Amino acid sequence: MKEILNLSLRLALICAVMAVVLSKVDAMTREPIAAVEALAQREAVEAVMPPFETLEPDTLADGGVYFVGRGPDGPTGYAFSASSAKAYSGEIAVMVGVDAGGRVQGVRVLRHAETPGLGSRYAAPEVLEGFYAGHGLNDRDWRVKKDGGDVDAITGATVTGRALAEAVSTGLVGFERVRPQLEGAAPAAAADTTGEAR
């Protein structure tokens, strides 16, 4: 009995020490990880947007975050994230940029767990450029050709192509729904002045 109690106390002490260590590591790494994620998001936004002078994040009542790029004459474009849980290995998340007319100007994959050499090839900007090719929500059937749509999928990675098309089209539907709010939003007082995005 004494031996079991001794082992239990040792185990409890080890668990307590490890809990303290893990909480310290979490506290030390939380801010750097958040900073890296914010930088990656900012780079993705700038990569998909048309040129802008200022960039303003706009959080709407539904919790969606949209980035509004502005020039001297008003909005030049918008960026927003979208995702689909139907990729081959789970969720695929993208950043989509549209011009003031709602036509897709850029797409970047933010995160995925797709098979290297197959579905992961969609993360390459040159592959994505052919995927969206300046189309808007209503001038393209955002399904892969195998399903009767207009989107070319990579051979052997059709499931990922379907998920990517779904993420982009779902994002465009959401954008069109909130677009009047975004267009009517007054420029933020503390806008982020960046010059040209690219």
Residue 129 C-beta-side C-alpha neighbours within 13 Å: 4
Cα–Cα distance for residue pair 134/89, rounded to 1 Å: 28
| Radius of gyration of the CA atoms of the chain, in A | 22
Closest CA to 93 of 105, 77, 109: 109
Q: What is the pLDDT of residues 37-51, one digit of tens each?
A: 777 777 878 888 888
Q: What is the pLDDT of residues 113-127, one digit of tens each?
A: 655 655 566 667 777
Closest CA to 168 of 124, 126, 117, 134: 134
SS (H, E, C) 21-87: HHHHHHHHHHHHHHHHHHHHHHHHHHHHCCCCCEEEEEECCCCCEEEEEEECCEEEEEEEEEEEEEE
Determine the pLDDT at residue 161: 76
Which pTM does this prediction carry?
0.72
Q: What is the pLDDT of residues 125-149, one digit of tens each?
A: 777 777 777 888 888 887 877 888 7
Confidence band for 182, pLDDT divided at 50, 70 and 90:
confident
Determine the pLDDT at residue 7: 86
